[in-house]
Chain A
């Protein structure tokens, strides 16, 4: 405990150093400004801003990234409330009530409860992260390759199969990502795989190119083709930003409940903030004394989901920092940012790079405060950003997106790859394949493969190790149950429905 305190104090020493404070400040500002743009979610924000940090030292860069990560989330909530185009699925719940509030002239309190709720949830969740991380690290240090591999399989399956609307489409997205992860030189033997002699492919496919291709190019193609001729109605910024006493009374219990829902969901490798935001929304609706307001702009319906969203986003950092396992698309890109500096997040990083990791955690506290101070006063500026016409907006997004891909190797091949991923993203968006599993598969696949091969090398090729080590066996059994149980339930229901409807037809 006291060890954690002193480590965190060291961290604050790093995070509050003027230069790092500046990087944090730039991070939250850029993150919010880009996150506000309609159609730009946190994952794309982080991916597009990654090239900006190439010349920074790792600590500064990662602190800036933490700021971008949080800023993008705050920015997204502003867009959702004023424009009703949720940038990511986790904002849909906010859109339900927040936009209604704005329509009734209560945009101010909606933005305020989202911002303050995010601050409260983000700070409590960061505190929980601080307390939980050393415990997980302690456990993770005992993990061997077998346990790691099982854990990664668990993460793959929860992210791909359990979260989305369709198990098979989630898994397909994951396997496409895994296949892309194979491209390049095999680390252990130096064997070229799936590179087809193209020198640019030998280094493997960069996660930034895939993420930007799917999220920016694919999204631009999709929006142009299906949404560009729709006029969106922006709600004017109306109403005082101040929340009334009644607003506060109704908001704070929602913030706290949502934190309690969001954080655990973020920490288990089940990624994504989608489920906790909807759970929080449902909870608030059930507990509210004003259920009739839900659907017409109930403040709890903004306060809860926004807080849950932020708490989950912080929770996602627990498996990322302590185990090196990203469970959301944004976390996958953050992992890529670490790897750019030759750092592999995980328990060892807490020992070898303690100052960096704790500095990063401390900067999360700082970032939350900066955002609260920045976001509400600057709301007028964000509203202006929202008014950029779509043609200019998407023109700009694509210039920056292609810049990010091109600046990696100064190669036209990367631009061509980007376009191919854009077409893939278009298809996935149109036919309902989730994108995050592909991004996670690309970056986590090679790590899982090397753990797999290491585990088998230790066991001298005996694959039963995965089932005889208790932790690994338990994780794999849990994984199988997560896929099979819902499937069996569905098959059984379909069968029962068919049997009961058969006599009715004669």
Chain B
């Protein structure tokens, strides 16, 4: 019976998440000073409105979820959406690449961090050719580094490759 469909667990969690975000925003907003002065509209007024809006929307989402599920939902089944089921490894590799870049960029420098990101993302998208990906990542990182530093005068951290890049005139 399709009309008896209840919102999925994910829909419930997200609805509560929006509600929680609204409540958290409201708590922060209520602690802001009034300082309204002339028109009595201080820096806390609009935050209160927006927090209130989020709370209303959270309740609205929850109501839809409990009365037959969200309207016009995205299909839960990946096949219905024309996709394959969730691949946790792929998600993890892309995330790992981004985290590796954050960790590496200030110490190892932009080029190495970019190459690490590139290799991990390629791995996440199913590539098994580490060496090719590493070479491509290093090449892109170097090209971008040279272009930004030389033509745009934007500083990017050279990191561990500083002596090498310096010697190459980059």
Contacts and interface: CB of A to CB of B under 8 A. Distances in A.
| Consensus secondary structure, chain A interface | helix
Interface of A: 51-52, 54-55, 165-166, 168-169, 171-172, 175-176, 178-179, 182, 186, 188-189, 191, 193-194, 217, 220-221, 223-230, 389-392, 394-396, 398-400, 402-403, 406-407, 410, 412, 415-416, 418-419, 422, 427, 430-432, 445, 449, 452-453, 456-457, 459-461
| Consensus secondary structure, chain B interface | helix
Q: Which of B72, B94, B110 has the most CB of A within 10 A?
A: B94
Nearest to A181: B50
A269 to B, nearest CB: 19
Interface in B7-45: 10-11, 14, 18, 21, 25, 28, 32-33, 35, 38-43, 45
B78 A217 contact: no
A224 B154 contact: no
B86 A225 contact: yes
B117 A175 contact: no
Interface string B55-80: 00100110010000011111000100
Given A52-B152, A391-B125, A431-B14, 6 more contacts: A179-B25, A189-B42, A221-B91, A392-B136, A459-B39, A460-B39
Contact of A226 (B18, B83, B99): B83
Contact of B125 (A188, A228, A400, A456): A228
B57 A419 contact: no
Nearest to B10: A431
Contacts of B50: 175, 178-179, 182, 445
Nearest to A406: B105
A224 B93 contact: yes
A412 B99 CA distance: 10
Contact of A225 (B91, B117, B121): B91
A189 B148 CA distance: 37
A54 B152 contact: yes
B104 to A, nearest CB: 10
A412 B97 CA distance: 14
Counting from the closest, the 9 A-B pairs by CB-CB distance are A391-B127, A391-B122, A432-B74, A165-B72, A391-B125, A395-B118, A224-B90, A191-B43, A186-B43
Given A179-B54, A395-B118, A228 B90 contact: yes
Q: Which of B46, B78, B126 has the most CB of A within 10 A?
A: B46
A229 B152 CA distance: 38
A224 B43 contact: no
A453 B39 contact: yes
25 contacts: A166-B70, A171-B57, A175-B53, A182-B46, A191-B32, A191-B42, A191-B43, A224-B91, A225-B90, A227-B83, A228-B90, A229-B87, A391-B121, A391-B123, A394-B94, A395-B121, A399-B144, A402-B117, A403-B148, A406-B105, A415-B105, A432-B72, A432-B74, A452-B46, A461-B41
